[in-house]
């Protein structure tokens, strides 16, 4: 059993909303959440929590691709690597079939 503690959701907020409720949004960032700032619906920047250490998870959080779970748990347990069986088709063939099906 594996527990993923990061999600891909990032809150989006317009400039006016951010300005009017800056304190609330900064409190969210202090809790580890990222805020995407928009202008006329287009992303112009992000506010992300300070990250300690240089890990892949920290980098993805800083880029806004991951946000910490609301539980505040900061660890990530990744599934073990699975090797394909000898009978399985090569990945390239599977991808070619999927691409052909989507055309």
DSSP summary character for residue 83: P
Tens-digit pLDDT profile for residues 71-94: 655 555 556 676 777 788 888 888
Under a CB-based contact definition with an 8 Å cutoff, are residues 52 and 58 in contact? yes
CA-to-CA dists, residue 4 to 7, 64, 66, 93, angstroms:
8, 17, 11, 30
Q: Band of the pLDDT at 4, cuts 50, 70, 90?
A: very low
Higher pLDDT, 59 or 44: 44
Which sequence spans correspond to the domains of the chain?
Answer: 1-103
Tens-digit pLDDT profile for residues 18-37: 999 999 999 998 888 889 99
CATH number of the structural domain 1-103: 3.40.1620.10
The answer, yes or no, to whether residue 14 has pLDDT greater than 90, is yes
Under a CB-based contact definition with an 8 Å cutoff, are residues 57 and 6 in contact? yes
Closest alpha carbon to 37 in 57, 22, 55: 22
């Amino acid at each position: 059993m594996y527990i993923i503690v990061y999600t891909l959701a990032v809150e989006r907020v317009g400039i006016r909303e951010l300005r009017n409720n800056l304190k609330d949004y900064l409190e969210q960032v202090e809790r580890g959440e990222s805020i995407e700032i928009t202008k006329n619906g287009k992303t112009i920047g992000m506010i992300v929590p300070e990250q300690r250490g240089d890990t892949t998870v920290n980098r993805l959080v800083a880029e806004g691709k991951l946000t910490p779970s609301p539980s505040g748990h900061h660890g990530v347990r990744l599934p073990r690597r699975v090797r394909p069986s000898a009978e399985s088709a090569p990945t390239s063939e599977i991808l070619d079939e999927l691409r052909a099906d989507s055309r």
